[in-house]
Amino acid sequence: MEPITSRRNPLVARLRALHQPKGRRDQGLLLLEGTHQVQELLRLGLAPEHLLATPAWLERHAALMAAAPLPVQPVGEAVLAAVATTDNPDGVVATLAREQLPQARGTGRFVLALDQLQDPGNLGTLLRTALAAGVDEVWLAGGADPLQPKVLRASAGAALALPLLRLSERSELVAKLQAARTAGLQLLATVVEATAQPYWALDWTQPTLLLLGNEGAGLHPELAELATERITIPHSAAVESLNVAVAAAPLLLERWRQQGP
């Protein structure tokens, strides 16, 4: 293909629109940036709609492209910088149709449910931890878009592999939690209470749903009331609470520890 060297090219405008939620919805695409995300895309067997790369990147990654031959649109450095959201892109971006991503069915036996999580970095870290812990599905009620570029980068590819269920309202999450209880899942609410049991005292090998709330307000009382168990992470009184992404790691990985090798 002829290289694109002008930032006024119509394709550049289309891909820049993917920086915003409306653009991603209208086109049904998400934007992946950087070599690692392209490698993850290929490892998962996903086929990009577009793959834009600079000549320098193509030269450095000739082996990668030879192993997974894909149609590549060469672009100039300025064009790549205009399409990317990062300050110092490494020379490649790709787009992926959302329909290629795994879809949550609401029937997982190990589920992470997030209510109004706002910070893209926290969300991406949580998704990465969830994948490492063997979570079946992640349910998201409002909050940050899990398919925005910042979350995709922070998740290190996990957002492409995890079945995600997006819910627009807390009431939808309430209904899903009630159904999960009826289906026999234990619903766990993490609280900062002396009377709550330490998280490791619980049997995490049972069908389980872990509820986590907003960074500032924590778990909404309406959701906490639906929990079958209230658990806590014992820690020093020098801090009132832990960052939600930090707290999720020992909780989610406890199931892995209890199941053993």
Q: Where is the domain boundary, 57, 73, 100?
A: 100
- Does one domain contain both 158 and 140? yes
pLDDT in tens, 194-251: 678 999 999 999 999 999 988 777 888 899 899 999 998 888 777 777 778 888 999 9
Closest by Cα among 42, 47, 53 to 76: 53
Q: Where is the domain boundary, 67, 100, 133?
A: 100
- Does one domain contain both 116 and 207? yes
pLDDT for position 1:
77
Please report, for the domain that includes residue 238, its CATH number.
Answer: 3.40.1280.10
DSSP string over 89-132: --SEEEEEEGGGS-B--S--SEEEEEES---HHHHHHHHHHHHH
Q: Where is the domain boundary, 51, 78, 100?
A: 100
- Does one domain contain both 68 and 123? no
pLDDT for position 56:
96
- Does one domain contain both 85 and 162? no
Range of the domain at 168: 110-259
Looking at the chain, the whole-number percentage of residues with pLDDT higher than 90 is: 77
Instruction: Tell me, yes or no, whether 164 lies in a domain.
Output: yes
